[in-house]
Amino acid sequence: MTTLTSTGALPKRSAATTVDASARRRCRAAVARRLLAAAPDPASALDWDALDGAPAWLALSDAELMMLARQVGAMLCAASIRLWIDGARLGAARTALGAPFLQALLALPDAQVLPRNVAPCPRIDNAEQVAPMLRTSGLGVLLASLPSGPLRRAAAALLGSTASTMASALAHTLVSRAQAMTVRAAPTRAMPGSATKSAQGVDA
């Protein structure tokens, strides 16, 4: 609820609040366009309130969304992947997930790995199964992270998949961890001129 200040005026919005609201509106509009284009029938049941709760990943490009799905699937299957010793499956996982992400996944402390008896992970016996199995599993988790109702139905039509039976809270946790790991695993880009300045400092 918005309250008045002691002078009787409405509180001023900070620049950060304005920027955040603008970003949310752009994301909401992008999700709406994508869902209406790919799944017009289920998307027609959505309203702006439902779209306000839509995650930003629904506005990703197809390539980015499939990469996220594979990475979420890898978070689900991390306990199994960490047991692989054959180069073929590990190489396929490196290609499917990105080398930095796979390295970070393999380095996770045991306490941060989902036990294999908590949620079902598909059996992956050979390299050819790695990418499609991780993608399918990840899509199920992404859908399970959405609230039941029109948004999930529209997203399922968009992704051509069905939601995992896992609890929504667990699915949301796996998605958040995958996204956080992607950020941590991303290479740090040096600021323009920083290398030159560093070299000048050493020479001096």
For range 95-114, the mean pLDDT? 94
Say what the pLDDT of residue 187 is.
Answer: 65
- Between CA 10 and CA 74 the distance in angstroms is 48
Say what the pLDDT of residue 106 is.
Answer: 95
Say what the pLDDT of residue 18 is.
Answer: 58
Q: What is the pLDDT of residues 37-66, one digit of tens each?
A: 888 888 888 888 888 888 989 989 999 999
Confidence (pTM): 0.79
- Kindly state the percentage of the chain with pLDDT values over 70: 82
pLDDT confidence of 204, banded at 50, 70, 90? very low
Q: Are 154 and 52 in contact (CB under 8 A)?
A: no
Does the structure show a pLDDT above 80 at 96? yes
- Pick from 120, 131, 123, 130: nearest CA to 164: 120
For range 130-150, the mean pLDDT? 95
Q: Residue with structure tokens 């629904």?
A: 58
For range 10-33, the mean pLDDT? 69
Say what the pLDDT of residue 196 is.
Answer: 40
Burial group, residue 193, by CB count within 10 angstroms (0-12, 13-18, 19+): exposed
155 Cα distance to chain centroid: 14
Say what the pLDDT of residue 188 is.
Answer: 53
Does the structure show a pLDDT above 80 at 16? no
Does the structure show a pLDDT above 60 at 8? no
Mean per-residue pLDDT over the chain, rounded: 83
- Pick from 140, 150, 148, 151: nearest CA to 174: 140
What does the DSSP 8-state code read for residue 82? T
Does the structure show a pLDDT above 80 at 134? yes
Q: Are 154 and 42 in contact (CB under 8 A)?
A: yes
Per-residue tokens: 69:
């799905």
Say what the pLDDT of residue 39 is.
Answer: 82
Q: What is the pLDDT of residues 154-182, one digit of tens each?
A: 999 999 999 999 999 999 999 999 999 98
SS3 at position 108: coil
For range 97-112, the mean pLDDT? 94
Q: Residue with structure tokens 């399970």?
A: 144
26 Cα distance to chain centroid: 18
- Pick from 133, 138, 145, 134: nearest CA to 170: 145
Say what the pLDDT of residue 19 is.
Answer: 57
7 Cα distance to chain centroid: 44
